[in-house]
Amino acid sequence: MSKQNQGWTGAFAAKSPAAFAANFVADIVLEASVLAKPVAGFEQVKAVMGAASKIYEALEFTAEAADGQRTYLEWEAQAFGGQKLSGITILTRGDDGKIVRAAIHHRPLGAVLRFSSELARRLHGVVDGNHFHQEA
């Protein structure tokens, strides 16, 4: 991984909200396949990323590409007792190098829905539940 992205990948290894936050601008926006709608703002995104990183049992970044202010990080992960997930994260940085927008795309769908429901449970009372998949 490039030096610029070591803060992001290192935050997953540390599973620390503060480690993620060190890379964010104040008005960061997080979009993700596990979110029903984007989460915005430093504290809210910090909370989501901190909780999400703790759901993963294993996560390996497998490829990286950059184009201008965007970086694309491909990854493989496990959660929920060994269920495999794959995805790509797109980080958009401002002129100062801080992340202004993150878009995280998980697959497969079953894992996405389970991950979203688990985030809702872990972040109850911290992040509005309308951001997450609601069980029918």
Closest CA to 48 of 23, 74, 14, 21: 21
Quickly name the fold that domain 3-38+55-125 has: Nuclear Transport Factor 2; Chain: A, (3.10.450)
pLDDT at 16: 74
**Tokens found for residue 135:** 């069980």
Segment 1-22, tens digit of pLDDT: 555 556 677 777 777 778 777 8
Mean pLDDT of all residues in 62-73: 95
This prediction's pTM = 0.89
pLDDT at 5: 54
Segment 21-39, tens digit of pLDDT: 788 899 999 999 999 999 9
Domains of the chain: which residue ranges?
3-38+55-125
Q: Is the dihedral of CA 57, 62, 66, 72 positive or negative?
A: negative
Per cent of the chain over pLDDT 90 is 79
**Tokens found for residue 104:** 């995280």
